[in-house]
């Protein structure tokens, strides 16, 4: 009994050393990435900033984003309202902060659904050749239409609302993940260790989980980072057209749509939502470009 105590303590010490070394390795990798890809690091900082703002929006917003003050309509930025007010006297800063939560929720949820379904369909099409024609021709049909047209059609059929916007964006992004996963899975399937796994009698699910998915994960992560800004822009576009998130919910696209009537009288009601939307899209785009360059061996060598 006494001899087991030092052994367990040694094992716990080894686990702590392993976890600390892995954490130090990750920090070194992040530092190296930031040093080699400075613009991508700036984009990553912007993305993290907006994610933190969206998560802690109820605590960061100085005022209620939907509180109306008739006597404070269209105020320019001042000490009380740092970014001014809109035509209903609502605090622009609070609405932009809460709008970050809405826009990021829509983009992350829609891209997450599209990733899960698209990667699954792509792997199935690559592994089961009898399904390949059906799945990939369906993906080709979806890709033949512009994304905003598919989004408008789905929202027009199902109705406006947060859930329907997420579903609409996810549906038109599924083919992009499916085609990427399909092409990568076909190349991985031809590798020797996959043939060895088949020869040993490993199940298809085990091969998918242990051999195919880990080897196609890097380009999928890059695709995610590049499609999130597209989802944000599509969500804003649908809200701008009145088919997305409905007022008075603070959303950047609906805020831009509402500002059209007041842009000459109070330009700040259009400038601040537009700058916010541009900044977050810029952050995701440059971060995605940096990840693509860092994870692609050919580009990294160049």
Residue pLDDT, tens place only, 145-166 = 887 788 888 888 888 788 889 9
Q: Which whole number is the average pLDDT over 247-251?
A: 85
Per-residue pLDDT tens over the stretch 223-247: 998 899 989 998 888 888 888 888 7
CA distance 164 to 252: 17
Which class does domain 29-62+76-282 fall in?
mainly alpha
DSSP tag of 70? G
* Res 249 pLDDT > 70: yes
Torsion over CA: 225, 226, 230, 236 (sign)? positive
Bridge partner residues of 85 (DSSP) = 91
* Res 16 pLDDT > 90: no
* Band of residue 17 on the pLDDT scale cut at 50, 70, 90: very low
Mean pLDDT for all residues in the chain: 85
Q: What is the pTM of this model?
A: 0.85
Bridge partner residues of 91 (DSSP) = 85
* Band of residue 296 on the pLDDT scale cut at 50, 70, 90: low
Characterise 126 by phi-psi region: left (phi > 0), alpha (psi -120 to 50), beta (else).
alpha
């Amino acid at each position: 009994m006494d001899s087991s105590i030092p052994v367990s303590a040694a094992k716990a010490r080894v686990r702590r050393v392993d976890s600390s070394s892995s954490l130090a390795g990750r920090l070194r990798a992040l530092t190296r990435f930031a040093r080699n890809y400075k613009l991508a690091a700036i984009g990553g900082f912007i993305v993290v900033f907006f994610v933190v703002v969206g998560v802690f929006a109820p605590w960061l917003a100085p005022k209620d984003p939907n509180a109306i003050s008739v006597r404070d309509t269209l105020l320019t930025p001042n000490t009380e309202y740092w970014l001014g007010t809109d035509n209903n006297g609502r605090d622009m800063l609070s609405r932009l902060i809460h709008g970050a939560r809405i826009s990021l929720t829509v983009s992350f949820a829609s891209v997450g659904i599209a990733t899960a379904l698209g990667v699954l369909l792509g792997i199935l099409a690559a592994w089961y050749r009898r399904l390949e024609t059906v799945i990939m021709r369906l993906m080709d049909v979806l890709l033949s239409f512009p994304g905003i047209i598919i989004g408008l059609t789905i929202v027009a059929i199902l109705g406006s609302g947060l859930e329907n916007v997420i579903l609409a964006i996810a549906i038109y992004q599924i083919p992009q993940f499916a085609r990427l996963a399909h092409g990568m899975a076909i190349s991985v399937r031809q590798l020797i260790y996959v043939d060895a796994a088949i020869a040993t009698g490993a199940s298809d699910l085990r091969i998918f989980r242990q051999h195919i998915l880990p080897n196609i994960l890097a380009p999928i992560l890059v695709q995610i980072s590049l499609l999130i800004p597209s989802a944000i822009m599509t969500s804003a576009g649908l809200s701008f057209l009145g088919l997305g998130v409905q007022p008075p919910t603070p959303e950047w696209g609906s805020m831009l749509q509402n500002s059209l009537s007041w842009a000459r009288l109070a330009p700040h009601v259009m400038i601040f939502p537009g700058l916010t939307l541009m900044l977050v899209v810029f952050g995701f785009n440059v971060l995605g470009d940096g990840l693509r360059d860092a994870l692609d061996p050919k580009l990294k060598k160049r």
